[in-house]
Amino acid sequence: MVNVRQAVILGAGLGCRLNGVLNGRPKGFLQFGRRPIIEESIAKLIRTGINDVIIVTGYCFEFYDRLAEKYPFVRTIQSPEFATTGSMMSLCMPAPWVQSDFLLLESDLIYEVRALQTLQSSARENCILLSGKTGSSDEVYVGVRDNRVVNMSKCRGAIEWLGGELVGISKITRALYQQMTSLAAEKCKQNRQYQYEDCLTDLSSTTAIHYHRLENLAWTEIDNEQHMNKALNEIYPLIQRRDSETVVSKHVERRVLLNPGPATTTDTVKYALVVDDICPREKEFGDLVEGIRQDLVRIVHGGDAYEAVLFASSGTGAVEACLSSVVPHDKSVLIINNGAYGKRMQQICDGYEIKHIDYDIDWGEPLECNAIERLLTQHRQDISHLALVHHETTVGILNELSTLSHLAERLGVEVIVDAMSSYAGIPIDIKDSGIHYLVASANKCIQGMAGLSFVICKTESLEKTKDIKPINLYFNLYQNYAYFSHKHEMQFTPPVQVFYALRQAINEYFLETEQGRAIRYATLYDVLEKGLQALGFRFLLETEYRAKLLTAIIEPKDTRYAFSEMHDYLYERGFTIYPGKGTLQNTFRIATIGALTEQDIVNFLVHLEAYLVEKEIRLRPQQREPIVGPRSSLGRTIVEQAV
Ligand X SMILES: *Cc1c(COP(=O)(O)O)cnc(C)c1O
Beta strands in 400-540 (DSSP E): 414-418, 437-441, 453-458
Q: Which span sits near ligand X by CB under 6 A: 14-22, 133-141, 313-321, 629-637? A: 313-321
C-beta closer to ligand X: residue 10 or 389: 389
Identity of the amino acid at 431: K
Q: Given candidates 41, 316, 338, 491, which one binds ligand X under the rule CB under 6 A?
A: 316
C-beta closer to ligand X: residue 85 or 441: 441
Provide, rounded to whole angstroms, the least separation between the CB of residue 530 and ligand X.
Answer: 25
Residues in contact with ligand X, counted by CB under 6 A, come to a total of 12
Contact status, residue 552 vs residue 528, Cβ threshold 8 Å:
no
Q: Does 421 bind ligand X (CB under 6 A)?
A: yes
C-beta closer to ligand X: residue 103 or 345: 345
Provide, rounded to whole angstroms, the least separation between the CB of residue 550 and ligand X.
Answer: 8
Provide, rounded to whole angstroms, the least separation between the CB of residue 365 and ligand X.
Answer: 16
Tell the burial category of 618 from Cβ atoms under 10 Å away from its Cβ (0-12, 13-18, 19+).
Answer: middle
Provide, rounded to whole angstroms, the least separation between the CB of residue 339 and ligand X.
Answer: 8
Of 390, 499, 481, 394, nearest in space to 443 by CA: 499
Of 390, 520, 509, 524, nearest in space to 448 by CA: 509
Q: Does 591 bind ligand X (CB under 6 A)?
A: no
Contact status, residue 324 vs residue 475, Cβ threshold 8 Å:
yes
Q: Given candidates 260, 425, 434, 594, which one binds ligand X under the rule CB under 6 A?
A: 260
C-beta closer to ligand X: residue 40 or 392: 392
Provide, rounded to whole angstroms, the least separation between the CB of residue 499 and ligand X.
Answer: 17
- DSSP for residue 94: T
6-11 and 102-106 as β-strands: parallel, antiparallel, unpaired? parallel
CB nearest ligand X: which residue? 315
The DSSP element (H or E) to which 533 belongs, if any, is helix 514-535
Gap between the terminal Cα atoms of the chain: 18
Which positions from 426 through 465 interact with ligand X, judged by CB under 6 A?
441
d(CA 341, CA 573): 30
C-beta closer to ligand X: residue 341 or 500: 341
Q: CA separation (Å) from 132 to 148, 164, 165, 214? A: 17, 5, 6, 7
d(CA 471, CA 457): 19
C-beta closer to ligand X: residue 144 or 438: 438
Q: Given candidates 198, 243, 418, 508, which one binds ligand X under the rule CB under 6 A?
A: 418
Provide, rounded to whole angstroms, the least separation between the CB of residue 435 and ligand X.
Answer: 15
The DSSP element (H or E) to which 77 belongs, if any, is strand 74-78
Q: Which span sits near ligand X by CB under 6 A: 3-11, 99-107, 280-288, 309-317? A: 309-317
C-beta closer to ligand X: residue 22 or 420: 420
- Of the CA atoms within 13 Å of residue 269, those in its CB half-sphere come to 26
Q: CA separation (Å) from 467 to 211, 311, 461? A: 68, 21, 12
Q: Given candidates 341, 478, 500, 578, which one binds ligand X under the rule CB under 6 A?
A: 341
DSSP string, 178-243: HHHHHHHHHHHHH-TT--HHHHHHHHTTTS--EEEEETT--EEE--SHHHHHHIIIIIHHHHHHHH
C-beta closer to ligand X: residue 6 or 337: 337
CA quadruple 248, 249, 253, 259: dihedral positive or negative? positive
C-beta closer to ligand X: residue 22 or 426: 426
C-beta closer to ligand X: residue 412 or 579: 579
Q: Does 261 bind ligand X (CB under 6 A)?
A: yes
Tell the burial category of 333 from Cβ atoms under 10 Å away from its Cβ (0-12, 13-18, 19+).
Answer: buried
Q: Which span sits near ligand X by CB under 6 A: 146-154, 415-423, 573-581, 607-615? A: 415-423
C-beta closer to ligand X: residue 76 or 324: 324
Q: Given candidates 13, 26, 86, 315, which one binds ligand X under the rule CB under 6 A?
A: 315
Q: Given candidates 55, 389, 413, 417, which one binds ligand X under the rule CB under 6 A?
A: 389
Of 552, 582, 132, nearest in space to 363 by CA: 582
Provide, rounded to whole angstroms, the least separation between the CB of residue 21 and ligand X.
Answer: 58
Provide, rounded to whole angstroms, the least separation between the CB of residue 341 and ligand X.
Answer: 4
C-beta closer to ligand X: residue 405 or 441: 441
The DSSP element (H or E) to which 54 belongs, if any, is strand 52-57
Q: Given candidates 170, 314, 346, 480, which one binds ligand X under the rule CB under 6 A?
A: 314
Provide, rounded to whole angstroms, the least separation between the CB of residue 635 and ligand X.
Answer: 33
Provide, rounded to whole angstroms, the least separation between the CB of residue 418 and ligand X.
Answer: 5
Q: Does 479 bind ligand X (CB under 6 A)?
A: no
Q: Given candidates 85, 393, 465, 479, which one binds ligand X under the rule CB under 6 A?
A: 393
Q: Which span sits near ligand X by CB under 6 A: 21-29, 246-254, 414-422, 559-567? A: 414-422
Contact status, residue 341 vs residue 389, Cβ threshold 8 Å:
yes
Q: Does 346 bind ligand X (CB under 6 A)?
A: no
C-beta closer to ligand X: residue 445 or 627: 445
The DSSP element (H or E) to which 608 belongs, if any, is helix 598-614
Bond prior to 630 in cis (omega within 30° of 0): no
C-beta closer to ligand X: residue 194 or 341: 341
Provide, rounded to whole angstroms, the least separation between the CB of residue 424 and ligand X.
Answer: 13
Contact status, residue 642 vs residue 605, Cβ threshold 8 Å:
no
Q: Does 583 bind ligand X (CB under 6 A)?
A: no
Provide, rounded to whole angstroms, the least separation between the CB of residue 278 and ligand X.
Answer: 26
Q: Does 420 bind ligand X (CB under 6 A)?
A: yes
Provide, rounded to whole angstroms, the least separation between the CB of residue 389 and ligand X.
Answer: 5
Instruction: Give the full edge-to-edge strand order of the sheet including 437-441.
Output: 306-311, 453-458, 437-441, 414-418, 383-389, 332-337, 356-360
Q: Which span sits near ligand X by CB under 6 A: 123-131, 295-303, 308-316, 475-483? A: 308-316
Q: Which residues 6+ apart lie within 8 Å of 381 measured at CB?
A: none
Residue 454 pairs in a beta bridge with 310, 440
Provide, rounded to whole angstroms, the least separation between the CB of residue 315 and ligand X.
Answer: 3
C-beta closer to ligand X: residue 87 or 443: 443
Interface residue list for ligand X (CB under 6 A):
260-261, 314-316, 341, 389, 393, 418, 420-421, 441
